[in-house]
Amino acid sequence: MLKIRCSSLGKIMTEPKSKTEKLSVGAKTYIEELAKEFVYGFQRVITSKEMEKGTLVENHSIQLINDVFFTNYTKNTERRENEWLTGECDIYVPGVKIIDVKSPWSLATFPATVFAGQDRDYEWQLRGYCMLWDVPLGEINYAMVNTPDELIRFEDPSIHYVDHIDPSLRITRVPYERDKALEEKIKEKVEAARQYFNEIVETIGLEHAA
């Protein structure tokens, strides 16, 4: 049974242009990709320099958050799932909130205000985590830390080396309160995605039948 990863939830939550449709064109395209991966037994690995930095500096970013807010957060390693979703949040504060840590590529892409940090895909990701961990609050924490030398290449290093900047200026927190109505919408979209996924798997089988 298809379950959607919280990190990909935004892909199916966009509204279709037609009111008679349950899924947008983009959502269908994403589900078609999942169906193809399922039938052919592979998993597409998408990577970029931005994603690579996020992985490499994750512990540095969490440490920056701890330094600024006098906390003692550690990286969560537990993956949870329910009937609709699966996911692994970055930081879990029991009974209080989950935190998703984002490490911007450079000062040029670092959101310096809460408004600039609002992102629909990240919001849906957080809402999925709030469901899985049953907490009332989700936060995106943008943590601006140095980019590893091997990733900078030919870019201006001045937008990548940030240790000289006040740490408090290098954290932007974007909070979202849990919303049960939106969680019902998530369930509806996942059910629609599941139905479409099964249709595509069946279509691939029929069109390639001997």
Q: Say which DSSP state 153 is in.
A: T
pLDDT (mean) for 39-51? 93
pLDDT at 19 over 90: no
Is-contact 173 64, C-beta < 8 A? no
pLDDT at 8 over 80: yes
CB atoms under 10 Å from CB of 127, counted, come to 24
Question: CATH assignment of 4-207, given 3.40.50.970, 3.40.640.10, 3.90.320.10, 3.40.190.10?
Answer: 3.90.320.10
- Domain extents for the chain? 4-207
- pTM for this structure? 0.93
For the chain, give the percent of residues with pLDDT over 90: 94
Helices (H), the chain: 10-13, 25-40, 49-56, 58-69, 114-117, 120-133, 149-152, 180-207
pLDDT tens digits, 165-207: 999 999 999 999 999 999 999 999 999 999 999 999 999 999 9
Is-contact 8 30, C-beta < 8 A? yes
The confidence score (pLDDT) of residue 163 equals: 97
pLDDT tens digits, 96-125: 999 999 999 999 999 999 999 999 999 999
Angle, CA of 144, 150 and 152, to the nearest 5°: 55
pLDDT (mean) for 60-79? 97
Mean residue pLDDT across the chain: 96
pLDDT at 210 over 90: no
